[in-house]
Amino acid sequence: KNQVEQSPQSLIILEGKNCTLQCNYTVSPFSNLRWYKQDTGRGPVSLTIMTFSENTKSNGRYTATLDADTKQSSLHITASQLSDSASYICVVTKGNNRLAFGKGNQVVVIP
Amino acid sequence: DVKVTQSSRYLVKRTGEKVFLECVQDMDHENMFWYRQDPGLGLRLIYFSYDVKMKEKGDIPEGYSVSREKKERFSLILESASTNQTSMYLCASSSPGQGTINYGYTFGSGTRLTVV
Q: What is the pLDDT of residues A53-104, one digit of tens each?
A: 899 999 999 999 999 999 999 999 999 999 999 999 999 988 767 789 999 9
pLDDT of residue A104: 94
Q: Please write the tens of the pLDDT for every residue from B72-96.
A: 999 999 999 999 999 999 999 987 6
pLDDT, chain A, mean: 93
Note whether A101 contacts B42, CB cutoff 8 Å.
yes
The full DSSP string for A14-71 is ETT--EEEEEEE--SSEEEEEEEEE-TTS--EEEEEEETT--EEEETTEEEEEETTTT
Q: Is A99 on the interface with B (CB under 8 A)?
A: yes
pLDDT band at A52 (very low <50, low <70, confident <90, very high): confident
What residues in B contact A34, CB-CB < 8 Å? 105
Inter-chain touch B107–A36, beta carbons under 8 Å:
yes
How far does the CA of residue A16 sit from the closest CA of chain B (Å)? Answer: 28
Among A42, A45, A52, A91, pick the best mutation site for testing chain B contact (most B Cβ within 10 A): A42
**pLDDT value for B97:** 54
A39 touches chain B (CB under 8 A): no
Residues of A with Cβ-Cβ distance to B108 under 8 angstroms: 43
What's residue B28's pLDDT?
A: 87
Between the alpha carbon of residue B85 and those of residues B16, B32, B46, B79, the distances in Å are 11, 20, 12, 11
Q: In the prediction, which pLDDT does B12 show?
A: 97
What DSSP line would sit under B6-23, residue for residue? Answer: ES-SEEEE-TT--EEEEE
Contact assignment for A31 to B42 by CB distance below 8 Å:
no
